[in-house]
Structure 1
Amino acid sequence: MYICTSLSSHVQCPQKLKYLYLRGSKKLARLPNLRSAANLEQICLMGCERLREIPSSIRFLHKLDYLNLYGCKKLRSLPSLFQLKNLRHLSLSFCINLKQISEIPSVIEQLDLLECGMEEWSTAIQSLDNLEYLPISMCKNLRSLPRTLHFNLVEELDLSGCSNLNKFPNVTGHLKKLVLEETPIEELPSTIGCLPSLVDLQLGKCYKLESLPDSICELKCLERLLLWGCSKLDRLPPLYGLCSLTDLYLDGTAVSEIPSDIVSLSSLRLLSLNNCKRLQNLPELPEQTRVLRAFGCASLQTAKSPLSFARLQTPNDWRWGNKYLFNYCNCLNLDHETLGSIMANARLRIEEMAIASNMSVLPEVSGGFLVGFPRKFEVPLAMNKDDMLLLTCRCRLKNADGNERLLPFVAPEIRHDSMHLDSVIQADHVFLWHNHYYIESCLIQKYSDVNELSIEFEFKAEHYGYTVGDAMQLNVVKLKVKRCGVHLMYTSKDEEYQCSPSIIQTKHSLHYAATDSDFMQEVIGTADTSKKRSSNQANIIADGRSDKRMKEF
């Protein structure tokens, strides 16, 4: 190995040299004649920021299979590399002044062009039949592509950040992932439907994109479609053919309606509509949908609930497990009927989960919050990056012998990043969730034969935020709980102790919500009222505590 910080053009490379490693040689401006180093297999010039040229004698290195010019910022041209018949890996990433790429041998398998300065797509790249890997994002000078591109082996094409590329060509091949984020493309060609293997299509922040071709519904293998931040996109094509689609991101688009055929997407798990300001109606969603994010849909008035619910078949799903998450935060124009429907929807899904996971002898709890924000916090509530809302319900169990057990029921974390809270929470909000416990054997033994059990619930809502100064400081602000409720799903897996939800809610309802339906009606009524008055005028109705005694369950 031959390492140095500078080389004279008169230096001769040893004939037996196989590896030339000059990484980080910031003073190196040129290389010597390489003709004598006929056995060279690898050259690494990564970070040689002053290197201006590669000697034409490189063409004699017939055994060379690796050439790394990553970060050679002063490099303006390349000699012909066509004769390097063994070259498999060529890195030109961050060669920001390299405007043109010369001839490249067709045997290349990996070509790195991340933030390269090239202005036009080289015809040499088109003939790379063995190419498998082609990172080409952030090429800010790239203005055009050939009318047609074909890739035999490339599975991922990333053109994100190519800020001067306004037209995407006809592409054929076996692409599985296509990334065009933060490009000014105005449309996709109809031939996009000719990519039968495409699994992931990312078009985030394509600020000039106005529509998608109808042929997109021909992508039978597509699992993720990302369109967030496409602020001019006001219409979606038919979706009925996207039978494999699991994730659909439409955050910040100008769509005013979602195609009704979305209900046919049997694989859809996540629909993200945050800040779709023009969206007025949400059609029925597929029964398998686990996550709906509709934060800040200011014009949304109606949202239909699924006609039925799919029983959970995959409790070990690596992303969602057996959880549902539906977020309508800051949807302040929802009509009364839709508010009631959302509540009923949540209740049915919670019951479905309880039935699917009935393995506990102690009550499962689904909690409900109506959270009001205190005046001292300056309503509306603003959440910064890394901030979090934490909602908890502490359940204290005590039997006749005085034995106690404290079980915390914690709502899913509500974070700034995960919920896309890029604006403020503008009014009182309701949070419903469900917790399931697999009770330990010692706890089962302790409580399995009791005839009387005292249960006390304490609700708490807190905002965790950080103040950045000389030292980062955690600030915790307690929020006021205006309404709260607990619904016991069942009490035992043994039939003789089994109680129906209707009996439980009647016998053991909370003081602040006489029945489960009353709680929903109070919440809906408060939500309607919040449209007519500011949230800081609302009275605090409950402190979030309840103590009830259950007998002979």
Structure 2
Amino acid sequence: MVLNNKMGTRHLSSLSSLTIDGVLDLKSLPNGFMQHLTTVQKLNICRCRELTVLLENEIGVDLLPSGLQRLSISSCDNLRKLPKSTSNLPCLKELIIDGARGLTSLPEGLLHNLISLKKFVIKGCAALVSCPEIGLSTTLRQLEIGDCENLDSLPKELHTLTSLQELNITSCPAIVSFPETRLPIALQKLQIKDCQKLESLPKELHTLTSLQKLEITSCPAIVSFPETRLSIALRKLKTRDCKNLESLPIGLLHNLTSLQSLSLYGYPILNSLPDGLDKLMSLQSLQIRECPALESLPDMGLPTALLELSIRRCGKLNFSPKELHKLTNLKKLEIVECSSLMDFNNQESLLFEIRNLTTLQSLTIGGCPTLVSIPKGILPSNL
């Protein structure tokens, strides 16, 4: 399809969804193109590599449709700016910008008049250096910022997004810290991933009383967690590949009565876990991997409600095999490359305890050079 100034859209006056895909020489939508597309609710523009501006002349009727509910622009590398009328779409629910490497800025007060907006995604915008005052939104529920390699700061008004439930910050290697202002109080999910220069986590994590999922991954500049407790509502906690993290706060696990999944991956210098592991009465999945300096579990041991226990590449970790005896609901057990735990002196008693795990459905034991064979009849009959 060729888009040009002579192309009429009068016959498309009842169109509700429009996708423009792979128009390689398109630099902007033709003048008057949007004039009769007043009923369009979904507008998708993708793989238009030469697109620099969406609307050349934002005058008269040549504006984005006021009833637009979803605007998605993806893989348009040369897009320099968004239309000013983007800020005046009262019905817009989703705004997705993904792969606009030439985009240098966002309109001031972008969110202020988007009174229906629930999801805002800004990804793959290499030229974007900072987020301006994007404005207050009382409806936004999901905000994703990712693959913005030169973005060095987050919006200062994050705390004004009073309905925000999900915040994902991914692959933003220039960000050093969070704004001084607190995070949105209604947050339920917070994901921070692959932010190479991020030095610290928000200090007010304990104020996020609705937080259910917290994931911190590949942030090597972080050396410690805030000395605060986490939300009692937290269900999933995953921290991975923060390689310079020296320790976890003593009270990190206290009062996490709703926690169902705990994952700790890739901590070469972490040598101990905080107390309270045994008090996690709702914990169903515990994964400890690639922690070569970790030597022991907290004194009170493992929580009894576990359904899945995975320990991999923790060469120094050792604990009494009797810890397994109380895991009466365990369905999946993995012990891989744990030389101390599978030491010759521990093997017999450990395998004996495994035999008593009558609910076990999956067992993985690997990377144990001292384990020559498993005696017949030593494994649970239900495997």
Q: TM-score range by the shorter chain?
A: 0.7 to 0.9
Q: Which has the larger radius of gyration?
A: 1
Shift of 1:121: 2.1
Report how far residue 164 of structure 1 moved: 1.8
What SS is found at the alignment partner of 1:127? Answer: coil
What letter is aligned with 1:133?
Answer: Q
Q: Distance in 1 between matches of 2:223 and 2:370?
A: 35
Q: Aligned ranges for residues 361-372 of structure 1 at < 5 Å?
A: none
Distance 1:488 1:270 in 2: 22
Per the alignment, residue 369 of structure 2 pairs with 427
Q: TM-score, normalised on structure 2?
A: 0.81
Query: 2:293 matched to 1:278?
Result: yes
- SS of the residue 2:206 aligns to: helix
1:253-332 mapped onto 2 (5 Å cutoff)? 253=267, 254-283=269-298, 284-303=301-320, 305-306=322-323, 309=326, 311-312=328-329, 323-327=331-335, 329-332=337-340
Q: Does the Cα contact within 8 Å between 2:35 and 2:63 map onto a contact in 1? A: no
Q: How far, CA to CA, are the matches of 2:285 and 2:96 in structure 1?
A: 37
Is the Cα contact below 8 Å between 2:225 and 2:248 reproduced in 1? yes
User: Cα deviations across residues 187-242 of structure 1 (Å, max 9, x unaligned)?
Assistant: 11221111112111111211112111132x33111111111211111211121221
SS at match of 2:46: coil
The partner residue of 1:79 within 73, 77, 83 is: 83
Matched residues in 1 for 2:227 and 2:345: separation?
34
Answering whether residue 258 of structure 2 is matched by residue 244 of structure 1, we say yes
Unmatched tracts of structure 1, length 5 or more: 313-321, 355-410, 430-480, 491-553
Query: Aligned to 1:486, which of 372, 377, 383?
Result: 377
The AA in structure 1 aligned to 2:46 is M
Q: In structure 2, which of residues 217, 221, 224 is the aligned counterpart of residue 211 of structure 1?
A: 224
Task: From the superposition, tell whether residues 305 and 12 of structure 1 become closer, same or farther in structure 2 (CA, over 3 Å).
Answer: same
Residue 130 in structure 1 maps to residue 130 in structure 2: no
Identity value in percent: 24
Question: What letter matches 1:412 in structure 2?
Answer: S
CA deviation map 1:307-356 (0-9, x unaligned):
962654xxxxxxxxx61414153324767775565345324434xx49xx
- 1:304 positional shift: 6.7
2:173 aligns to what? 163
Pick closer, same or farther for the CA change 1:326–1:70 going to 2, 3 Å.
closer
CA shift at 1:179, angstroms?
1.0
2:362 aligned with 1:412? yes
Partner of residue 33 from structure 1, selected from 31, 34, 48: 31
Out of 128, 140, 149, the position equivalent to 2:149 is 140
1:523-552 alpha-carbon deviations (Å, 9 max, x no partner): xxxxxxxxxxxxxxxxxxxxxxxxxxxxxx
**Residues 225 and 173 (structure 1), Cα distance of their counterparts in 2 relative to 1, 3 Å cut:** same
Aligned length: 358
The aligned counterpart of 2:190 is 178
3-state SS, counterpart of residue 240 of structure 2: coil
Summarize the alignment of residues 345-356 of structure 1 with structure 2, pairs less than 5 Å apart. Answer: 345-350=353-358, 353=359
3-state secondary structure, aligned to 1:90: strand
Q: CA deviation at 1:147?
A: 4.2
* Cα distance per residue 1:385-442 (max 9 Å; x no partner): xxxxxxxxxxxxxxxxxxxxxxxxxx8374xxxx9x8xxx36133xxxxxxxxxxxxx
Query: Residues 486 and 44 from structure 1, CA distance in 2 versus in 1: closer, same or farther, beyond 3 angstroms?
Result: closer
Aligned residue among 211, 216, 223 for 2:235 = 223
> How has the CA–CA distance of structure 1 residues 297 and 11 changed in structure 2, closer, same or farther, with 3 Å as cutoff?
same
Residue 166 of structure 1, CA deviation: 2.3
CA displacement, residues 91-141 of structure 1 (integer Å, 9 cap, x when unaligned): 2111121121114332223323232343212322x4122223333222223
Distance 1:168 1:303 in 2: 42
Seen in structure 2, the aligned counterparts of structure 1 residues 161 and 286 have a Cα distance that, compared at 3 Å, is same
* Bigger helix fraction: 1
* CA separation of 1:337 and 1:164: change in aligned 2, threshold 3 A: same
Q: Do the aligned partners of residues 41 and 301 (structure 1) sit closer, same or farther apart at CA in structure 2, a change above 3 Å counting?
A: closer
**Structure 2, unaligned runs of 5 or more:** none
After superposition, the Cα gap between the structure-2 partners of 1:210 and 1:303, relative to the gap in structure 1 and judged at 3 Å, is farther
Contact 1:330 1:427 in 2 (8 A): no
What does residue 98 of structure 2 align with? 93
One-letter amino acid of the structure 1 residue matched with residue 377 of structure 2: V
In 1, Cα distance between the equivalents of 2:201 and 2:95?
Answer: 30
Change (3 A) 1:427 1:49: same
The one-letter code matched in structure 2 to 1:256 is: N
CA distance in 2, matches of 1:307, 1:78: 58
CA displacement at 1:180 relative to structure 2: 0.6
Cα distance in 2 between the residues matched to 1:62 and 1:134: 22
